[in-house]
Structure 1
């Protein structure tokens, strides 16, 4: 089953990825040289969010969509606060000025 996922790294940063086999990929991130370079330097990593998709293409597209989000928007997604996502999509200056 294809997944998009978010990992918390040892340095408290987030890593966003997608895969066909979540368990195997998580193992790679923590133990293998096949894990992403970003996570290899920040082990151990912990899975903190994932979602299933019908195809790897959908999972990959969602990965790319959320990878560019700011930390606070990723955290809203992880806690299921979907109502906060539109507001967090606005530039900080617009939010602070009430626009």
Structure 2
């Protein structure tokens, strides 16, 4: 199962869309563990939308739209 998610940073008014096969771990990575990159700059992130897919290609396609 794959999850496409949309995160929102209230402090910076930024959106971030991603996908993962382990959403909970990935969400914690965005908020606590990443040491560089886009999501580190705009913490904290709040999950505002999720969708579930059986196939990785469906999740990847949805992430891009």
Interval of TM-score (by shorter of Structure 1 and Structure 2)? 0.7 to 0.9
SS where residue 6 of structure 1 aligns? strand
Shift of 1:12: 1.5
Between Structure 1 and Structure 2, the one with more strand by share is 2
- For residues 33 and 6 of structure 1, what CA distance do their matches in structure 2 show? 17
Larger Rg: 1 or 2? 1
The residue aligned with 2:33 is: 32
Larger RCO (CA within 8 A; separation ≥ 6): 2
Where does structure 2 lack aligned partners over 5 or more consecutive residues?
A: none
Where does structure 1 lack aligned partners over 5 or more consecutive residues?
A: 66-99
TM value normalised by structure 1: 0.60
Between Structure 1 and Structure 2, the one with more helix by share is 1
User: Any idea what the Cα deviations from partners look like across 1:15-74, whole Å, max 9, x if unmatched?
Assistant: 01111011011000001126x711110000000001000112211110011xxxxxxxxx
Poorly superposed stretches of 4+, deviation over 2 Å: none
How large is the RMSD of aligned CA atoms in angstroms?
Answer: 1.5
TM value normalised by structure 2: 0.88
Residues 3 and 56 in structure 1, CA contact (< 8 A), matched pair in contact too? no
Aligned residues: 64
1:37-76 maps to which residues of 2 (within 5 A)? 37-65=37-65
